[in-house]
Structure 1
Amino acid sequence: MNSTCEIRYWSGYFKDYLEQEKKKALSNYEWRFLDDNRLATARFHDQSYIFLTAAIMDNGDTLMIGCSTSFLAQLQVRVTELEKINRSLDATIENSYDGIYITDQKGITLYTNSAIERITGIPKEYYLGKSVDQLIKRGILNSSVTHKVVKQRRTVSVVQENFAGKETLITGSPVFNNEGDVEQVVTNIRDLSDLNELMHELMKVNELNYHYKQEIEKLRKITSHDGVVFVSEKMKMIYEVADRIADIDVTVLILGETGVGKDVLARHIFSTSVRSKKGEFIKINCGAIPEDLLESELFGYEGGAFTGANQKGKQGLFELAEGGVLFLDEIGELPLQLQVKLLRAIQDREIQRIGGTKPKKIDVRIIAATNRNLVEMVKKGDFREDLYYRLNVIPITIPPLRERRDDILALLDLFLAKANEQYHFNKALELSLKDYFYQHDWPGNVRELINIVERLVVLTDKALLSISDLPVEYQPTHPYHTSKTMTLKECVEKAEREVLERAVKTYQTTYEMAEALDSSQATIVRKLKKYKLKICEKD
C-alpha cells in the first residue's frame, strides 16, 4: 500500500464522487500501480474500484484523473434515464399534430417532425441543416420567425400563407442558455385551414342551434286550452279574460264570425269553473231548431200540455243544465216571442214549463254566442234591447284567422297531427303549402282550416302534401281564389277588365262597345288603353 503521487487536483465527476464517499478514508485505499506508475487502481472496503491515471502538469503538479466502478454504474443509470426521456420527447414532438422545427440561434434547422410534411408538402429531411434564410430565398417561408425571436428575445407569433398555399399560425419561442443568451428557437406551425374549417362548421352548427332555439321559442309561446292552440297576443288576452271570469256568475256574450271557435271558448269557461263539478255543459243552436219546437226544448213542458206531448212531461234544457252552463249558440236567431221568456229566465232566475202553472227556480249560467251584429238588429227591431243588455254583460269578440295569422301554423300542426292519428297516416306538409295556408284569408276560419286539412290527409295518396294537392276551389289559379283580401279599387278594376276583355272579342268598334256598355266612346278608348286591350279583328 504505497503511492508516490501527490494527489492535489481532481477532475470533474471523480472529485464529486470522492466527496460523496467521505466515510471512506484514503488510508483504506489499496493501491496498485501499473504501466510505469501512470495507471493505478484503488479498492474500497465495499469492493468497488477506482481507476486512476496520472498526468504531470506544467507546474510540476500531478493531476490524478479517475473513475470508480460504482460511479460508472451510476452514470450508466443516468444515461439510461436520459435516453428514455429523449425517446419520450422525440415521440411527443414527432406525434404532435402541429409542425415543430428547432433551430439554433443562427437559424440553422436542428430538428423537425413529420407534421411539417402534411402542412407544407415538403419532406422533413429537406429542412435539416438548412437555414431559415435559405428557406425564405426558395419561397418556402415568407418571413423568419426565428430571427424575430432572437432579436426580440421573446415569443413571437405570425399568420402567413405557406408554400402549399395554406394559412398557418407560426409561433417561435426562445430557449436560453445559462448565460441568458438565446441558444435555440422552437417553432410551432399550426395549419389554420383545419381550424378555419372547424370554425365554419361551428358557425353552421350555431346557426342551426339558433334556428332550433327560434322554433323552441315559438313552441313555448304556443298556449294550449282544451285542445286549441294559439300564439297570437289577441287570443292570449281573450283566454286570460275567460280564466278571470270563469267563476264569476255573469252572463257572457261571445261574438265572432262563423267558425272562429266560439263554442270552444264557452266550453273552456265552463271547464275551468266550479260549475264543471256541479252540473253539465248544455249547448243548443237557436237557429237549428224549428221555432215551434224551440220553446219546449228550452223550457220543457208538462204532461198533456199539447197534442202528442209525453204524458209525463219533459225537462227543458234549462233544467238539464242545473248547476252548470247553458250555451245559447246563434242567439241572434232566437224568435222575438222567445226573447221575452229568455229575458225573464235570466232576470228572475226561474222558468215555467209549457202548460205549467208554477215557476221553477234555476241555477244556470248563461253563455250566448252569435256571428250577427246584435246592435244593428236592435236598431231594426229584430232583437230586444233589454235582452241584449242582459246578455252583453261580459262581451268577448274572437277575431277571425286573417286577423291573427300567427295562430294559423300552430293550428295547422295540431289539426294535421289529429288527422294523422285518427286515420292512421303519417302525412306532412311542404313549406310552400304551409305558406299558402298562412297567406289564405280563411273566410270559414278554424272550421274551414280543419276541413281542408282533413280532406288533404284522407284524399291524397302522397306522404308529402303540396299546393297541387289542394281542391280546385283552393288552387291559386282559380278565379274565385285570392290569397289576400283585395281592396275595393282592385275588385272594381278586375271586374272592369273582365267586362272589357269580353267586349273587345264581341264588338268591332269602340262606338259599338260604348253603346253596349252604356258609356262614352272616349271612356272606352281610355279604358282600353289603361288595360292594354285591342279590339279583335273579324274575318
Structure 2
Amino acid sequence: MEHVHQWMDDLPFPAVVTDAAGIIESCNLLFAEMFGGASMGVPLPSLFQSWDEQDGGVHVAKADGRTYLLLCGDLKREANDHRMYIVTESGCVHRLQEKVSDLEQELDALMEISNDVIFITDRDGVTLKVNSAIQHFTGFPRQCYISHNVRDLVERGLLRTSITLKVLEQKKTINYIYSSSYFTDHKRFAIGVPIFDEAGDIKKVITNVRDLTELNHFYNKLKEAQQLNDQYRKELEKLKTRRVDPDIVLASKCMVDIYDMAERIADVDATVLILGETGVGKDVLARYLYRASSRSEKGEFIKINCGAIPHDLLESELFGYEPGAFTGASRAGKPGLFELADQGVLFLDEVGELPLSLQVKLLRVLQEKQIQRIGSTRPKNVDVRLIAATNRDLKQMVKKGEFREDLYYRLNVLPISIPPLRERKEDILPLVASVLGKLNKQYKMAKSFDRSVEWFFSRYPWPGNVRELTNLIERLILTVPSSVITVEDLPPEYREQERQSPATSAFTRVMTLKEAAEIAEREILAIAVQKFHSTYKIAEELGTSQATIVRKLKKYNL
C-alpha cells in the first residue's frame, strides 16, 4: 500500500483507502487533518454521525453539522478488494456545479456574438453545441442540429458538407474553402480542430466556418477607401506644393489645367517644351515640374539662359571641358551643366537662341543620353531630364532653317503653352495681392492699392506679362510715399495708356445710354469677380442683391 499512499498525498482532496469490510487502511494528510489523525483501523462509517449510500458509488455522510460527499472507487490489490474514497463537502460540489453552469453560459454567450458558425461535436460526430449563426449559413435554426449526428445532417440536407467527418477520419486539423451552393459565388472558409483525451483519442471536434464573401466585400471596401485616401493625399500634396511657392498663383481655369497636367507628367522623363511670351512664368512652371518629381530628391535643378551667354562659351558651359582643352582652360577641367544636373533637371531657357552647331550636340545628348567634354575622347553617360522654354516660334524657325527640325521634334514631346496675362485676367488681381504681400513683407511696409489702380491692373494688356506686373508693383511701393496708391501715382507711360484704354475710347463714339451703361456695368462686374470670391460679397460691395449679381454675371457671361 506504500505506493498508493505516495500518490494519495498529491491529491487536492481528502482521500482514504479501506478494505472490503470498510476498515481504514490508509489515508492522505488532508483526510488525517480532517479527522484528527486517529482513524486508522476503524470502520470509515464510524467517523460520521450518519452514513447513507446513494447510487453510483456515492455516499452522503454528516459529521459536526457538515454534510460530506464520498465518491467511492474499487482498487484491485493482491486479490483483496480495496476501495478509495474521495471526500468533499456538498457545498463545494454545489459551488463547483454553479461554476460549471456559469462557464457554460459564458461559452454560449461567446458563441452567440460571433458571426462565424461554431459547431462542437463529440467523438461520434453528435452535435453538442452550435450557435445561431448557422441559420444565416444554412437557413435552418440551431435547434435542428443539437443532439443530431453530422452524418445524418448531411444525408438530410441540413449540411451540404461536414468538415467534422474529415477530422474524425484523418484525426488532424482540417481546413478548406468551398462554395455555399452551386448557384452562387459565395466562398466560405472552414476549419475543424480535434480535441484529444489523455489516451490520444478524439473526444470532441470544434469547427469554425466563416463567410469569405462578406470579408472580401469589406476588404474591397477598405482597399477602395485606401485608394481614395491616397488620391486625396496626392491632391493635398499638390495643393501644398503650390501653396508654399509664392510665385504660383492659380485663379484662371487655363492655369489650373496647366499645373494639373504638370503634376501628371512630373515623374516621366520625356522632354518638356514650355512656350509663351516673355514674362509669363515659364521658369516658374519648370521649377514646379522639378519639385513635383522624384528627381528633386536625387539631383539638382540647373538653369541656363541660352541667349545670355556668348555662343563661343555656351558649349563649354553645357558640356564642360578637360584640363588644357583650350587656351585659358582650368588645369583641373570643368564639369558642364549636364553633368551637374545628373539625376536632376536641366532647364534650357530661350532654347531658340542655340546656335546650329550646338543644336547637333544637344540632339545627340537627347538621343544617346551621353555627353562629351571639350577635349575628351570618351563619352560620359548622364541621366538628365531636359525642360526647354522659348518665346519664339520654333516651327517658323525650322522653316527658315534657323532651327533643326529633328531637334524641334525631340524637344516638342510634351509641349505646354502658357497664355499671356491679358488672356487670363482672372489671375491679375490675385497676382497683385500675392506680389504686394510679398514685397510689403520684404521691405517692411504696409502699402495698398485703391480700386482705381485695381481697375487699371485688370484692364491693362501687360505686354511684359507677370514680370512687367511685378516690376510695376515694386516700383510703386518704393516710390510712392503715401500708404494708399491711386491711379494718379502711376508712372506717366501707364497713365497715358489709361487714358487711351479701350474702355475709355469706347465712350468716344456715339452710342445709346443703355449701351454705355452696359459697358460700364460689365467692367465693374469683371473687376468685382476677380477681387471677391462670392456673389454675396460682390452684392455687398456693389450695394445690390445677390440675386441681381447672379443674373448680371450670367448676362455678361462672367
TM-score, normalisation: structure 1 = 0.48
TM-score by length of 2: 0.46
When Rg is computed on C-alpha atoms for both structures, the one with the higher figure is 1
